[in-house]
Each structure stands twice: as structure tokens, then as C-alpha cells.
Amino acid sequence: MTATSTMQNLTVNDAVSQALAEEMRRDPRVLMFGEGVATKRRELLAEFGAERVRNTPLAEAIIAGTAAGAAAMGLRPVIDLLFAPFMTLSMDAILNSAGKLRYLSGGQFEFPMVVLAMTGAGWGVGGQHNHNLEAMFVHAPGLKVVMPSSAADLGACSRARSATTTRCCSSWTGTRLHAGAGTGGQHLVPLGGAAVLRPGRDITLVSYAKTVGHCLTAARGWPNWVSMPR
């Protein structure tokens, strides 16, 4: 993780927008499109224009297929499919094209695309939106599935620098409520390793996404819990 010069208190959406703006300034190949992105992130549209930030029809297979083709041709697309269940409509492009073709082509093509979708439960928007599908995608060759637990990490995982496909998911609860210590500058999260947020000796809690916060709450209450009378 790179050093940063400024610390801010960011919401999840703010962190994603900030990270994308930094990436788009750094690399003209980065663009964002998807369901409502130009409406939700007007500051990106104002700075980078409709050529690089644009809304799409509600057609997930076409969105993902377009992103896979754009990535293969040298661009670095970031797409937003809104809700994780909608990714089932785009699995051919994500799994069979973006995930596999880098290897099937012997490295001649790369697919540095980021797929954003919200996952989790507890927000009352109907079963067609509430579904945890990350385990399905973990088993797909060529994909990197990340489930950030903070605003800063979600923003960092939105950066389109991986040569393989990265899928980012954030829970709706986290999107609406969680504000964390965000970072300005080039905040990067190395994929493939665990982050130790609270070292200890007595017990190990392993989690991801919004449940990391519950684990930290439990860890803070651990000394009091063990001293309680049985």
C-alpha cells in the first residue's frame, strides 16, 4: 500500500469517485460507463466529459461485453452494474472472455477492467437485488474478487491497474452508512493477502466486507466479555 499525504473522512461513494478521478487524470485510457454512472457521479462527467463517463441502457451483458472488448483493445474500463445479481446477466463476457482470454491468448490480450456491483442483504430492495454471489466468481479463472471493508479500500480497489479482471463489490449498508478514514493520493491495496487490522493473542476473527466492522466491535469488547461471570 503506497504512502499517502492526506487523510480525509470519506463515504464509500466519495472514495470511489475520488479514486476514479485520480486514475482518469493519471491515465487517459481509463473510462467509466454503466447504469447511471454519469447521473451519480456528475463531478466526473463535468471534468472528463461524455467520452469517458457515460450512462448505458440497462443491458448488463452488453455493458460487460463492451468493457471486455475495450480492455482487449488497450483501454481500462470501469463499469458499474449496480447490483450483484445483475452480474449473472453478464457472466459470459466476464467469465468466458475477460477472465479466460488473457491465458488462452498466451498473454497477447489483457483485460484490466473493473466491475463494480453492490452486494449484501438488509436493505429491503427486493430479492432481485439482494444476493451474495462473490463465492461463485471466486472460482472463475482469471478473476480477482475483492470485498473491501472500508471506504479507502473500496476506492483503492476501483483503480484499473490489474492486467486481469477485478470485480469490486460493496454492500448497500456500507454505501449508505459507512464513513471511514479515506486517503488522497495514490492509495493502492495489494491483492492476494489479508490485512491484519487488530493484532492480538487470544483469538483470530476472519471476515470480509461490512462484517469486518462487526469483528472489530467484538474484538474491542473481548476483554470485558471474558471477565463476565458465567
Whole-number Å distance between alpha carbons of 189 and 4 = 12
The H-assigned helical ranges of the chain are 12-26, 37-40, 42-48, 60-72, 91, 101-104, 134-138, 151-157, 172-177, 211-220, 222-226
Cell of 172: 448497500
Q: Is 129 considered catalytic here? A: yes
Whole-number Å distance between alpha carbons of 140 and 31 = 25
CB count in 10 Å sphere of residue 226:
9
Please state the φ and ψ torsions of residue 179, each to the nearest 5 degrees: -120, 130
Residues carrying an active site annotation? 129
